[in-house]
Every structure is written in C-alpha cells, then in structure tokens.
Chain A
C-alpha cells in the first residue's frame, strides 16, 4: 500500500511544470473533488441529542485533519431521519441517489438501519454505521462495503448476563422497547443468562417510544425478582430510571442494562441513577490519554460533555482519514479502500479497536456503575468482545 504514496511524494518533490503533466488523471481528480459524506441521523425527536453528538464528534475529528480526508475537502450532506423507519427508504435514496454521497454514515435507530441496508447493498454504497446496533448489519446482511464503528446489540448486552450472575442474582425481569434493538439486546442477555443458570421471571415489552412505565413498575414490585435488566435509550432511559427510583424499586431490586440506559442522560436522571450497573464499550471516565484529549476537545468545541455517540462519530472520521490517506482520497479505488479500512487500527477514546471479518469492532466491553453522579468503570466485563456475526458469510 505504500507504493502509491511514495510515487506521489516523488512527483511533488519533482515539482515544477512537469508535475502537472505527470500527475495521473485519477490523482488529479481526487485532489480536486470534495469528499461528500452523507449523514443519515435524527435531528429531531427522542434521539435528536444522539444525532447531534454523532455529528459533532465527526466534525471534531474532521477539524483535527484540517477538514480534509485523503487530501479531499469534506462536504457534509445531512438528512434528518427522524428515527422513523417508514421514512428511511426515501431519506436513504435522497443521500445515495439524489446527493450521490461518496460515503454514507448513520443512523441511530436500528429500524432505520435495516431499511438503509437494503438500499446500500443494492447501490453498493460505501457505508459506515455510526450507532445502530442491529445484529443484521454485520450479520445476515453483512457486506464488504459496509462497516460499523459503534457496536452490535449483542456486545452491549451479552456481557451483562455474567455480571448479574456474578452478583448472585438468578431471577430477572426483562423490560425493553419493543423494536429490533430491544429485542436483540434481550435475546443476547437471555442466551448468556440461561447458560449461567439464571431464569427469566417475566418479559415486558413496551412499544417504542412510549415512556409510561408506572403500570409495569407496579407489576415488577409485585413479582419481586432479584434483578431487572432493561433496554431503553435517550429520553426514555432518563424517564425509566427516574420512574424506577420514584417507585421505590431502586433500593429493593438492582437495575442493570446495556450502557444506553445512562449514556448521555445521566445528569437528567440525577440522584435516581445511583448504583445502576451497565455494560458498554465506552465510559466517560475511561482513563486513557486519547479519551482525555478527546473529551477536552469536544467540550471546548460544543461546551457539552462527550458521550459514546460522539465517540462513534469521532472514530468514523478517523477510520476514513486513515483509510483514505492510503488511497490518496480516491474513493473509486473501491477494493483498495475497503482493504485499507479492514486493516485500520483505531486509537479510539474507548481504547484501541479493529474490525472483525464481519466489519464490526472487536472491542472491550466495560462494566460501569453510577456513583455520586459519575459513571465509574468497575472493570472490563468482556475483553476484546467479538460479535458472533451469525449469518454473515464474510465471517466464516
């Protein structure tokens, strides 16, 4: 991969009038045209804050590369996907066919991601999923030109089963938003929990994005389980944790979840979140130099605290920066570009990660607990957790 870099450097060194003639047309075109990055993210509704932080994370990384990837200036093309799967095909088409973006990034909502996968597989669009954890993205629908910089649902929930069992809690109630993210989260948890000898007392699906939990909380109190494992995110997570504490359950039945339960909404939850244990591939308080540097820069740029969503956005642009540098920004050299992304080692705020054969990050999953309003890392729940990628031909 270093050969093209050398020849280009040599050309630049030669300089003068000759260089203009000698530059291949490919490199010439690549150095001129802007790199169009499509953002399919929610900028309104329950997940608006998540979409905004992913965007800010991406823009922060872009600024650190002086607004250029592989020598090409970046042009952002953003579409508000409203976290609405029904509108997803139209929104994806707008970016892929209408705007002809070079790279498509997003979305937050797994349902939107599923609709997106259908189209990008058909149109062969280079795609980086920046949040949605749907198993199929790097599972049954995996594709050579689709990567994910965030996580799979399995990665955020499976490791938590062991955590609950190690705490000596064998009877759990599951409660979740009833769409693919929640369902897959629960399936991953159940698989690990059953294997370790735990049993599920009751499963309570809640329609997305309903946040009326009181009736279910009364039910949980009557069931008296050892533990409650939930999937909620964003505003719904904030409300659930507050309701859980207000119903007097927090001190009786410990609450567990994938990290999205507290991510980005900890200050809104306040006192109610104390003691909640979650598993995730990131924590605000992770102690590594990249994370410290990233958090400081993000705060300076936005006057907000960074979160896991901002990290995914930040890493996405860094992945592209590394890979595009190797192909001099030439997105038409598709095979080389994909090979370049596959071999990227990302020095992420979450700790280093690489892509699995199915193009999902292989990463540490941390056990975190809320103490005095801060997310404290208790340790690594699962080291180098790799999604099983079931149904993906590339993984076998």
Chain B
C-alpha cells in the first residue's frame, strides 16, 4: 500500500467512524442515563433515512428534508418515550429488550407498509454531488467530506452541551447516580424524556445524512444498531467520549480489515471489541463497577 493510499484509507475509516458516532452517541447516553437497552435505536436511523427520502422526493430539497424531518423525528422519539419507554424504567433489562425489540419489528413493518419493500435511492444534493481530487489517481466524494464535517460539528456540539450547560451537567450527574439527582429536586422524568428524544434525533440525523450515501429499505437500521452496540461496548457504556473513540476505532479497524484481510473483514470489528474488553472489561471509558 502506498503512503497516499494509506492516508486515504485513514480518511475512509474516520469518515465511516464519524457517522457511526452519531448513532452510537445517542445509544450510549440512553443506556448510560436512562438504563434502557434501546434496540429501537436502529429503527430511528431507518426512519430518518425514510423521512429524508420521502421529503426530498416531494420538495426536491435535501436541506428541507433535514430541517423538516429532524423535528418530526425528535417529536416521535419524545412520543415513544412518553407512551412506552417511560413505563419501563423500573423494570429489568429483559422487559426493555422485549419492548424495544418489538418496536423494531413494528417500525420495520410500518415502513414496509408505508414505503414498500423496494430499495429507494436519495439523490445527493446538487451542491455536494461533485468529487475532490486527491493525488493523481484518487477522488473523494464531496458529500462524504460534508457528512464528516457535519458529524464532527455535532460531536463538538454534544461535547459543549454536556460539559458547559446546566442540562449537560444534570445528564452527566444522572449517568453516575440517578437517585441522587432526583433527591436534589431535579425533574428526572423530564430530563429522561428530553434525552431519549435527543437520542432518537441523533440516530435519525445519522440516517438522513447517510441516505444519499447508501440506499433506503426496511431494516437498514438493524446492521447499524449491531455495530453501534459494539462501539458503545468498546467506548464504555454511558461515555460519549468513549463512543467517539470507539467509533473511530471501529471505523478504522473495519476499513483496514477490508483492505488487508478481505476474507476476515466481517470479524475484525468483533475481534477489536474482544481485545479491548480483555484489557478494559468495562470499555475504554467505562465506570468501574463500584462507582455505579
């Protein structure tokens, strides 16, 4: 592998990792603070992609699809939290898995009923549809550069909110000790609602951004969900910083695994997870058991 190809593959790895982070960040927050194993997170990713497809098909504008679609998806997340998830905080993980997995089935079939099981494509916005030349042989899609920057922007925004706002402080406190936060007179229910809705929004945003890169069909979120769980486990449950590093690690491992060990590329990501867990059983930034 030449040096320029190596650099390009790093770029590819980082790019796929950034998109993954968008999904995994919501997943890790919901698990860390709400304590809910949210299998439906991948379904929000899928719905985001469908909303992007549906609205951009009608308005001809991808930007409009994101601007209209995102609040809709946040609202849907909020509604699902109110109607279903909020009833399960006191229950064990099995009940949560059953409910959220049930949501996956319902949402997958719902999208099949609404949009059919065909594969849909979303056109890349005209302004972003070109390619950038990198060296003499290589070109990189402008849209991939755009999604990378957008994801990076969201990552910075999440960090700012968590570290420098009152809301973020409560979320961090909630991740460590929910009961204590409640005892201090903070409306934890409301906090959880907002957090779940925001997580759904992040997953949907990832689905929207990914839609022009990929194709839209029922169940696209399922594969994303599994890899996102890997990211969350590597990073340490509840840690956004961990999710970011985990996503980078997974993105790079996946990319180089494909190029260097094509026969084993499906297993590389899981091998990385196993290796991390061997040395850090709670993930890179997971809290040790006694702190929880």
Contact = CB atoms under 8 A, between A and B. Distances in A.
B218 A215 contact: no
Q: Which 5 residue pairs are nearest across A and B when measured between Cβ atoms?
A: A248-B139, A268-B121, A207-B266, A246-B141, A48-B117
A49 B254 contact: no
Interface string B202-229: 0000000000011101111000000000
A269 B13 CA distance: 24
Given A44-B219, A207-B266, A246 B5 contact: no
B216 to A, nearest CB: 8
25 contacts: A44-B117, A44-B218, A45-B219, A48-B217, A49-B217, A212-B258, A214-B15, A214-B144, A215-B259, A216-B259, A219-B5, A219-B259, A222-B2, A222-B138, A224-B137, A234-B119, A235-B217, A239-B214, A242-B121, A242-B214, A246-B143, A265-B119, A265-B121, A270-B121, A270-B123
Interface in A204-226: 204-207, 210-212, 214-216, 218-219, 221-222, 224
Contacts of B263: 178, 205
A267 to B, nearest CB: 7
Contacts of B13: 215
Given A204-B262, A214-B15, A216-B259, 11 more contacts: A49-B217, A215-B9, A215-B254, A235-B119, A242-B215, A246-B124, A246-B213, A265-B121, A267-B121, A304-B116, A304-B118
A207 B264 CA distance: 8
A219 B138 CA distance: 9
A178 B263 CA distance: 9
A247 B219 contact: no
Interface of A: 43-46, 48-49, 52, 178, 204-207, 210-212, 214-216, 218-219, 221-222, 224, 234-235, 238-239, 242-243, 246-249, 264-265, 267-271, 304
Contacts of A48: 112, 117, 217-218
Q: How large is the interface on B (under 10, 10 to 19, 20 to 34, 35 or more residues)?
A: 35 or more
Most chain B CB atoms below 10 A, which of A44, A204, A248 = A248
Contacts, number: 110
B16 interface: yes
Contacts of B124: 246
A210 B266 contact: yes
A218 B144 contact: no
Given A49-B118, A49-B119, A222 B5 contact: yes
Interface of B: 2, 5, 8-9, 12-13, 15-16, 108, 112, 116-121, 123-124, 131, 137-141, 143-144, 213-215, 217-220, 254-256, 258-259, 262-263, 265-266
B282 to A, nearest CB: 28
A34 to B, nearest CB: 28
Nearest to A47: B117
B35 to A, nearest CB: 30
A216 B119 contact: no
Contacts of B215: 211, 235, 238-239, 242, 265, 268
A207 B258 CA distance: 9
B119 A214 contact: no
Contacts of A215: 9, 12-13, 254-256, 258-259
Contact of B265 (A46, A207, A243, A267): A207
A284 to B, nearest CB: 15
